[in-house]
Amino acid sequence: MNNVKIKSKNLNVYYGEKQALFDVNLDLNEKEVTALIGPSGCGKSTFIRCINRMNDVIDICKVSGNIEIDGVEINDKNLDVVSLRERVGMVFQKPNPFPKSIYDNISYGPKIHGKGETKSELDEIVENSLKKAALWEEVKDRLDEPGTGLSGGQQQRLCIARAISVNPEVILMDEPCSALDPIATAKIEELIDELKKTYTIVIVTHSMAQAVRVSQKTGFFHLGKLIEVGKTEKIFKNPDNKMTQDYITGRFG
């Protein structure tokens, strides 16, 4: 069992009047993949967006409770969001490369954080990020072509490379394969397996099979509550909760 990297305590989230998360207490382990499953609208995405404070972007969203990364409270008004997001990267449901060249897509983050001051340093960051995202071989000869011209799966790996480029500790993935075909999905899953050696990964997924394949730990959300969490093997073979059982066997959701 690895160390706990992220710890949420009594986390509540409100969108205006509507409460989206109820007292979520969840520990995420370092250098492990944690999968979050549950029916649509159950709060999985809301939860991971708390970890890099992406919910700040939404005006009506209010977060109360605690989230700690390495024991430091991040749900704190005085926290520097920029450096938090440098540590916690995110990959979205739909690939969202910037309408810039592949190179500029990757170098965007490092430049913002003042990394890679010389061209060669920057080149190195770009190359390493793309290599880690298993995209280097496919794009090394066309780094100046627009990132939007890649295929869906390549675009998503480009977005993963973009997240890696600032050298984060945690990568949040919000249904990263939902817009991809099975082959691209397999590649991303392979990549996740590789990435977990270096990063703590949290993945939201609708695919039970994917959760089983990639994760070591699984949390099941329903109607904004964390119903059950445990080793992936246990959750899928022998869950404690009846609702979890029903969901993974496809009786509702």
Partner 1 sequence: MNFVLIFLITIFSLSLFFYGRSKTKSISIEKNIKLNALPKFYGYYLVLWCSIPSLVFLLIWTLFEPVIIKSIIIETAANQGAIFNDKNEANLIYEKIKAIYAGTYFGDIDTILKESALSYAKFINLFTNSKIVLIFGIVIASVIYSLKKIKKNNKARDDVEVILKGLLFASSLIAILTTLGIIFSLLFESIKFFSVINIFDYLFGTNWSPQRAFVSDASAITAAEYDELKDAFGFIPLIAGTSFIAFIAMLVAVPIGLFSGIYMAEYASVKIRRISKPIIEILAGIPTVVYGFFAALTVGPFFRQIGENLGLTVSSESALAAGLIMGIMIIPYVSSLSDDVINSVPQSLRDGSYAVGATKSETIKKVVIPAALPGIIGSVLLAVSRAIGETMIVVMAAGLAANLTINPLESTTTITTQIVMILVGDQEFDSPKTQSAFALGLTLFIATLVLNYIAQRAVKKYREKYD
The answer to whether residue 159 forms part of the interface with partner 1 (CB under 8 A) is yes
Sheet strand arrangement including 217-222: 88-91, 170-174, 200-204, 33-37, 217-222, 225-231
Q: Which amino acid is at 139?
A: V
135-154 residues in contact with partner 1 (CB under 8 A) are 148
Q: Kindly tell me which of 59 and 141 has the beta carbon lying closer to partner 1.
A: 59
Cβ 36 to partner 1, closest distance in Å?
Answer: 17
Rounded Cα distance between 128 and 171, Å, is: 16
Cβ 120 to partner 1, closest distance in Å?
Answer: 21
Rounded Cα distance between 205 and 209, Å, is: 9
Contacts of 228 (CB under 8 A, 6+ apart): 219, 220, 235, 239, 240, 241, 243, 244
Strand residues in 59-199 grouped as ranges (E): 61-69, 72-73, 88-91, 170-174
Q: Which amino acid is at 231?
A: K
The answer to whether residue 107 forms part of the interface with partner 1 (CB under 8 A) is no
Q: Kindly tell me which of 156 and 205 has the beta carbon lying closer to partner 1.
A: 156
Q: Which of 59, 71, 119, 141 binds partner 1 (CB under 8 A)?
A: 59
The answer to whether residue 156 forms part of the interface with partner 1 (CB under 8 A) is no
The answer to whether residue 112 forms part of the interface with partner 1 (CB under 8 A) is yes
Of 3-11, 68-76, 158-166, 206-214: span binding partner 1 (CB under 8 A):
158-166
26-55 residues in contact with partner 1 (CB under 8 A) are 52, 54
Q: What are the structure tokens assigned to 124, written together?
A: 């190195």
Contacts with partner 1, residue ranges (CB under 8 A): 52, 54, 57, 59, 81-86, 89-90, 92, 94, 96-100, 108-109, 112-113, 148, 159, 162-163, 165-166
